[in-house]
Amino acid sequence: MPRAVQVETEAINTDSFLDIVASVVSIMIIMVLMTGLKIENTPVDAAALAAAMGQTVLPSEEDAAPERSVQDEQSRAAEKIDKLRGEATDVREECNQLSQRVASLEERRRTVGQDLDRQSQEGAEVQRRIGEARSHLAELERKERAVEAAPGPTVAIESYPTPLSRDVEGHELHFHLRAGRVAFVPMDSFLEKLKGEIQLKAYRLRDEREMTETLEPEGGFLLKYALQRVDHGARSYIRLKYFTITPTSDDLGEPVERALVQDSQFSQVLRDPRAKDATITIWTYPDSFDAFRQIKKALFHLGFSVAARPLAEGQRISASPEGTKSAAE
């Protein structure tokens, strides 16, 4: 039978193993402690931790204080900026007003300067005129002294009748004066013809109360008359209501300058024997008053009395029982 082999084994030392295990465990403990200390000393990112945990973490009072301070500074800065902007706007408006004021003052200064220049020129002109006036005055004074030293001239004084008017009672010669032209009015001839006309036409007034007729032209004039029947109970009579004398042309007669010469028609009428004691009655329009004064002066020298009968423009020579007499001077 085989022989059993007896193997001798060396006994295992357990103390060494325990030492090793204890060392490893100690090292692990030391590493865990060191890791814990490191984590404890490391600041925790709360936001990251909250984000990781899906939660919102509010900042603490200490963390929020700096942020509020910054916001307060920003608010104050914004208020200052707004205030500065407002002040800048006010300053800009004031600048605009000052600019307008300066422009107005500049325009006023320019206007005043122009006025001063004009006044200066006017003053110079006044001074020049004063000098001329003084020179003229000195010249007049010199002439006055010379006149006073010279012998006085002879002065001719024309004397005319006192202009006191009186009603004309006697014979009259009538003239028409217009546009500076004088023409003889054949009044006496017209009145003679008118008497005959009244006798001839009286029968027509038996059936009519009034009638109007015209005489044939004479001497460049036309006479128009009106007759009227007047009833007094059983008796009636005819009377002249009025008559008018009208020139047949505008250039009738002769100019006053021509009439005052020796051989004029005006002078021929005055030389007629019937004009010796007659009053010269001149029917005068406003445009010939100066011419009337010339004729009046000449007639005074010839010894005639003159009566003026002014007529308005467009008015005709006329007469009626209610009319007035001529007034002679």
Strand partners, 173: 280
Cβ–Cβ < 8 Å for 166, 328: yes
Question: Cα 59 to chain center, whole Å?
Answer: 85
Whose tokens are 């205030």? That residue is: 83
Q: In angstroms, how far is CA 63 from the centroid of its own chain?
A: 84
Q: Which pair of tokens denotes residue 32? A: 């865990």
- Find the helix or strand (DSSP H, E) in which 183 lies: strand 181-185
3-class SS shares of the chain: helix, strand, coil, % to 5 = 55, 20, 25
Q: Report DSSP state, residue 5.
A: P
DSSP state of 153: P
Strand partners, 210: 228
> Does residue 298 sit in helix, strand or coil?
helix
**What is the β-pairing status of strands 210-214 and 317-319?**
unpaired
Domain ranges (residues) in the chain: 167-328
pLDDT, residue 163, reads: 46
Determine the pLDDT at residue 312: 93
CB atoms within 10 A of CB 309: 16
Query: Residue 138 to residues 35, 145, 243: CA-CA distances in angstroms?
Result: 135, 11, 66
| pLDDT tens for each residue of 120-130 | 888 888 888 89
What pLDDT shows up at residue 189? 93
Q: What is the pLDDT of residue 47?
A: 55
The residues of the chain scoring below 50 in pLDDT are: 1-10, 49, 52, 55-57, 155-157, 159-160, 162-165
Residue 203 is predicted with a pLDDT of 83
- Rounded-to-integer distance, Cα 254 and Cα 182, Å: 6
Tell me the C-alpha distance between 300 and 293, whole Å: 10
Q: Tell me the C-alpha distance between 163 and 296, whole Å.
A: 11
In 243-259, which positions are buried (b, 16+ CB within 10 angstroms) versus exposed (e)?
bbbebeeeebbbebeeb
Structure tokens at 268: 């021929």
Cβ burial, residue 295 (10 Å; 0-12/13-18/19+): buried
Span 156-202, pLDDT tens digits: 445 445 444 455 667 899 999 999 999 999 999 999 999 988 888 88
Asked if 198 contacts 227 with a C-beta cutoff of 8 angstroms, the reply is: yes
Place of tokens 């002879």: 154
Say what the pLDDT of residue 48 is.
53
Q: Which residues pair with 185 in a beta bridge?
A: 174
Of the candidates 174, 181, 173, the residue with the CA atom closest to the CA atom of residue 250:
181
Dist. CA 239–CA 198, nearest whole Å: 8
